[in-house]
Amino acid sequence: MVSEAQQRAKKKWDDKNKDKNRIYRYRSYARKFIRDLATDDDLKELDELIDKRLRNA
């Protein structure tokens, strides 16, 4: 069980850090997809997208 003070503190942090929270959430979704759901074709496509992104960085 989480105390009310902890809940308020988390809400305050979440409100101030919406972009960070979004990044954490999307990163988690991506990892879950890659680990548990992606087909071989999905993984190949993601690999190509990552390679292309890294070359342009």
DSSP characters over 12-48: HHHHH-HHHHHHHHHHHHHHHIIIII--HHHHHHHHH
Q: Does 45 have pLDDT greater than 90?
A: yes
pLDDT in the model for residue 19: 97
Domain containing 42: what range? 4-56
Number of folded domains in the chain? 1
Query: What number is the average pLDDT over the span 33-55?
Result: 97
Q: For the whole model, what pTM was predicted?
A: 0.74
The 10s digit of each residue's pLDDT in 6-32 is: 999 999 999 999 999 999 999 999 999
Q: Does 57 have pLDDT greater than 90?
A: no
